[in-house]
Amino acid sequence: MLKDKDILDEKNKLLHTKSKDVVFPLEEKDKKMIEDMIEHLRLSQIPEESEKYNLRPGMGLAAIQLGIPKRYFVVVHEYEEGKFKNYVLINPKIVSASSEMIYVEEGEGCLSVNRPTEGIVPRHARITMEGQDMDGKKVSFRAREDLAVAFQHEYDHLDGILFVDKIDKKQPFKNKDKYRAI
């Protein structure tokens, strides 16, 4: 089982490197890591489990956050209380994005950023992402609102970008009136 200490902190330079495409068939260690990522994220979103295992709540994890510079991420979305949908995207690409931009009103968070942050991160309100599943089959997901934000956040990790890099240092709430808060 993954622990919060297994997740790299933003000070680690590896988080600012571009991840490499995954070659199929997927290695067993990557399959196991994906399963561990799913379990960690699901447990972290269940208050009793999060407390029991001392986990910070999280919705997504990219392989690079665990020191693996490969292009894959996992998002575990609680779409209804106690009901989760797992998204595994390997070698993802954004194929379409809405012109409408949004931001998370209470601020984005990241399991690699262990400090309070303020500011807005503009994101597309809706996106379609394509990639591969664990068997190498093509998958396509349409996401909106919080799920779209999570996909874009994790996708950025694969290019070595943290959400804090997208916040204007001098004016953290710059252009706030141009975007819709969610």
Domain limits, the chain: 4-181
- Predicted model pTM: 0.96
Tens digits of residue pLDDT in 80-106: 999 999 999 999 999 999 999 999 999
pLDDT band at 45 (very low <50, low <70, confident <90, very high): very high
Tens digits of residue pLDDT in 127-171: 999 999 999 999 999 999 999 999 999 999 999 999 999 999 999
- Is 154 in the active site? yes
CATH superfamily for domain 4-181: Peptide deformylase (3.90.45.10)
Instruction: Give the mean model confidence (pLDDT) for residues 107-133.
Output: 96
- Contacts by residues 95-99 (CB-CB < 8 Å, ≥ 24 positions apart): 95/128, 95/129, 95/130, 95/140, 96/127, 96/128, 97/124, 97/126, 97/127, 97/128, 98/124, 98/125, 98/126, 98/127, 99/124
